[in-house]
Amino acid sequence: MIARRLHWASINEITFVAGMRLMFWICRVFGRWPFRVMLYPVLCWYVLSKPRPRRASQAYLRRVASYTSTAAPGVLRHFAAFGESILDKMLLWSGLFKLDTVDVHGGDLIVDAAAAGRGGLVICAHLGNLELCRVLSRRRHDIKLTVLVHTKHAQAFNDMLARLNPASQLNLLQVTEMSPATAMLLSERVVRGEFVVIAGDRIPVSHNPRVALADFMGAPAPFPVGPYVLANLLQCPVFLLFSIRQGRRSALYFEAFRDAVRIPRQDRDAAFQQLAGDYARRLEHYCLRAPLQWFNFYDFWHLAQLERSDAPR
């Protein structure tokens, strides 16, 4: 059971992306279908040789099938969607992705706020291809983003993107712990009308992560409270962002979440659970629309350090 409880940050993705430079070259020279033909042998090797991500994918897909009363998709299809997402990120930062194939829903929420000089917090998920929001913000509306990431476990992939386009690293901020200095820096950027982007579906990289349990796909799962602690500090509008691929087109969905988040001194746990639950319901909605595009290849529903239902103070 210990192996299944491995933290997501210790699951190294280097072996999966090691062959993507060759695959990217195949796509550029021969097109997407030859890329897909070559992708499946790589996927078969990865799925057979990496039991933890394979088991996590199987468990997630079984939950989707049970929750929707449908047949469970195959693990290979799940990893194929991941490979397609990696390719899209590489195409984006090499300037080869057709941005006119991206539909933006609710984008006026962000555009209007930026035009009025109001910044905000955007809570996203590991669903689809969120690199689209960074590229679109630079090319279409001059919206300034700061994306909070923990990328040390995937340094090879980020180095590969940097070789394709150094600009891919410009608005990333490496954050493991939210220090007072980091919070002050982010507050200053929001006051200037910029936006901070943080994922809401991965627990913090710490020994005792602060989490709240929320129902997700029919079972309680731990969600980080960090985004809501940050929202409480920033006192700014909070938005949600989800990305999914639909056939040959991609879509970004922006939603208003809260005008502001205020966490009371009393009943903090209840406030965190309400916020995490509201986020989990929207994540579930989009995951069910594109179940193969949620890329959390670890035991999402179990947290070894958490054996109770409330979020630590």
pLDDT of the residue at 171? 76
302/162 Cα distance (integer angstroms): 34
What's the pLDDT at 4? 44
How many CA atoms lie within 13 Å of 80's alpha carbon, on the beta-carbon side? Answer: 15
In this predicted structure, what is the pLDDT of residue 309? 39
Residues ≥6 apart with Cβ < 8 Å to 119 = 113, 189, 190, 191, 192, 193, 194, 195, 196, 236
Cα distance between residue 168 and residue 159, in whole Å? 10
Give the confidence band of 188 by pLDDT, cuts at 50, 70, 90: very high
Per the prediction, the chain carries an average pLDDT of 82
- Of the pLDDT bands very low, low, confident and very high (cuts 50, 70, 90), residue 305 is low
Angle at the Cα of 95 (from 105 to 135), degrees rounded to 5?
Answer: 35
Q: Are 23 and 42 in contact (CB under 8 A)?
A: yes
290, pLDDT greater than 70: yes
pLDDT-derived band at 88, boundaries 50, 70, 90: confident
Q: Which of 58-67, 174-183, 199-208 has the highest mean pLDDT?
A: 58-67
Q: What is the rounded average pLDDT of the residues 131-150?
A: 78
pLDDT band at 1 (very low <50, low <70, confident <90, very high): very low
Find the helix packing angle between 75-93 and 20-30, rounded to 10°: 70
| Residue 280: pLDDT over 70 | yes
Report d(CA 186, CA 234) in Å as an integer. Answer: 8
- pLDDT band at residue 154 using 50, 70 and 90 as cut-offs: low
Closest of 171, 177, 301 to residue 230, by C-alpha? 177
Residue 47 pLDDT class (50, 70, 90 cuts) = confident
Amino acid at 308: R
pTM of structure: 0.85
Q: What percent of the chain has pLDDT over 70?
A: 80
The H or E element that residue 246 is part of is strand 238-246
Q: Taking a C-beta distance cutoff of 8 angstroms, is the pair 103, 251 a contact? A: yes
| Highest-pLDDT range among 13-27, 140-154, 253-267 | 253-267
For the chain, what percent of residues have pLDDT higher than 90? 41
Sign of CA dihedral 307, 280, 296, 150: negative
How far is it, in rounded angstroms, from Cα 231 to Cα 238? 7
Q: Is 81 left (phi over 0), alpha (psi -120 to 50) or beta?
A: alpha
Tokens of 309: 């239902």
Q: Helix, strand, coil shares of the chain as percentages rounded to 5?
A: 50, 20, 30
At 311 the pLDDT is: 38
| Cβ atoms < 10 Å from Cβ of 285 | 12
